[in-house]
Amino acid sequence: MTSLGDQARTFDDPVVIAGTVLFVLGGWAVSLCLHEFGHAVVAYRGGDYAVKARGYLTLDIRHYTDPIMSLVLPLVLLAFGGIPLPGGAVWINHHALRNKRVESLVSLAGPLSNLVLGALLSLSVLLFEPPVGLSAALSYLALLQVLAFVLNILPVPGLDGWGVIEPWMSYQAQQFGAKARPWAPLVLFAVLLAFPAVAAIFFRLSYAVFGLVGGEELWAGLGQGTFMFWR
């Protein structure tokens, strides 16, 4: 049986630290692709067949609209700030979708992919009991998926939560959303950073969801500490 001292020394091992960083960054990049794939596959089944021609159904990251916003910027913010920024969206022809319900489902599919992936990662730790370093990395990656789900499901213009309810809004509300879309997410991040009380509510909600999908806060905390080894 591994002692607590041995476990603590595990997380000081440079090999474990490097492995955790690479594992989390790689896993997050894959999850970004799955998030966008979720949008695209539901759009395809809902009437926008052009997503196939654009390569969105291939999980090939080169086909996403903006590699900087979809991959580079989210990975940089994740590495230096621990913020699971949603990637840039695939381009969907909403006029080709069959109805408002399909439009809502297209927006919902991305965040749900994060939630499902978070649940699968959490369950893999519970069921297979991998080594401590891997358990911590898996749990932290699972937590990031849940954080991305909760963040992206908020009804803020530019995020998927807004896209879920937007088809059912009045024309005036939709126009407001279109104008606010470029800057509203930035305001949200600024509020989370500037107001600890608001951030605390966000994280309490996220950890509650994390627990519901089988996540273990202790393992996730160890994974975060290893990932952000410079702190």
The catalytic site residues sit at 36
Nearest by Cα to 40 from 119, 113, 101: 113
Instruction: Check: CB of residue 220 under 8 Å from CB of residue 141.
Output: no
The whole-angstrom separation of Cα 87 and Cα 157 is 15
**Residue 63 class from Cβ within 10 Å (0-12 exposed, 13-18 middle, 19+ buried)?**
middle
- Token digits for 187? 């305001």
The whole-angstrom separation of Cα 160 and Cα 218 is 30
Residue 134: how many CA atoms within 13 Å on its side-chain side? 8
Backbone angles phi, psi at 197, to 5 degrees: -65, -40
Instruction: Check: CB of residue 40 under 8 Å from CB of residue 56.
Output: yes
Could you give the 3-state DSSP secondary structure of residue 26? Answer: helix
Task: Show the beta-strand stretches assigned E in 5-77.
Answer: none
Q: Which residues contact 1 (CB under 8 A, 6 or more apart)?
A: none
The length of the chain is 231
